[in-house]
C-alpha cells in the first residue's frame, strides 16, 4: 500500500531518473503560490548559485530550447542563441509553457518534458557537487549532481548568464 502511494507522488522527472538508475534526492515543500525561484530559495534557505531555474525559449527557426541557470541570474539571450546555433531566441510566453513542456510555471524542469528539446545549463553548475532544480511540480525539488542532470536532460553546458 505504501509503495503505491509513493509511486503516485512521483513526477515524470523522477520516473525518468529512476528508469535511468540515476541518484537524486527529493525535497517536498509547501507552495501555495509560486512567485519566482529567488522567493523559493529564500523561503527554503537555499543558495541562489546552487538553485537553478528552467527557462524555455523559441528560436528564430521556430524550434524550442531549454536554458537552466541560477535563480537570481538573467539569461543572456545572445549567448543562449549562440549556444544552440540560432540567430536569436526569445523566452516562451508563460501561457504557452504547459502546452510546450507538459509542466506548469514553477514546476518546469528540463528532465521529462513532453519532447526532448535541446537543453543548455549554465556552466557554473560544475562548481557544485549538487544542484537544486524543480522536480516537475510545484513544491517539489530535485537535488542531484550536475553530471546526473546533464545525462538525464541530455544537456550541455555553456556560459549563458548576463554579465554586468
pLDDT tens series, the chain, 164 aa: 334 444 458 999 999 999 999 999 999 998 877 778 899 999 999 999 999 999 999 999 999 999 999 999 999 999 999 999 999 999 999 899 999 999 988 889 999 999 999 999 999 999 999 999 999 999 999 999 999 999 999 999 999 999 87
CA distance 7 to 40: 25
Nearest CA among 73, 55, 75 for reference residue 64: 55
Quote the pLDDT of residue 4: 40
Residue 93 CB partners (closer than 8 Å, separation 6+) = none
Quote the pLDDT of residue 2: 38
**Which residues, in sequence order, are bridge partners of residue 51?**
132
Quote the pLDDT of residue 164: 76
Sign of the dihedral defined by the CA atoms of residues 55, 131, 9, 138, in that order? negative
128, 162 in Cβ contact below 8 A?
Answer: no
Quote the pLDDT of residue 9: 80
Quote the pLDDT of residue 31: 83
Domains contained in the chain, CATH given: 2-158 (3.90.960.10)
CB count in 10 Å sphere of residue 41? 21
Amino acid at each position: 500500500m505504501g509503495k503505491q502511494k509513493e509511486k503516485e507522488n512521483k513526477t515524470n522527472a523522477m520516473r525518468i531518473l529512476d528508469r535511468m538508475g540515476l541518484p537524486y534526492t527529493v525535497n517536498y515543500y509547501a507552495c501555495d503560490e509560486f512567485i519566482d525561484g529567488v522567493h523559493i530559495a529564500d523561503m527554503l534557505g537555499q543558495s541562489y548559485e546552487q538553485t537553478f531555474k528552467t527557462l524555455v525559449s523559441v528560436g528564430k527557426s521556430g524550434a524550442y530550447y531549454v536554458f537552466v541557470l541560477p535563480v537570481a541570474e538573467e539569461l543572456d539571450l545572445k549567448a543562449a542563441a549562440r549556444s544552440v546555433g540560432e540567430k536569436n531566441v526569445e523566452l516562451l510566453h508563460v501561457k504557452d509553457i504547459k502546452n510546450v513542456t507538459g509542466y506548469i510555471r514553477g514546476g518546469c524542469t528540463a528532465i521529462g518534458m513532453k519532447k526532448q528539446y535541446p537543453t543548455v545549463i549554465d556552466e557554473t553548475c560544475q562548481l557544485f557537487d549538487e544542484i537544486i532544480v524543480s522536480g516537475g511540480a510545484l513544491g517539489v525539488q530535485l537535488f542531484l549532481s550536475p553530471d546526473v542532470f546533464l545525462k538525464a536532460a541530455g544537456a550541455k553546458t555553456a556560459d549563458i548568464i548576463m554579465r554586468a
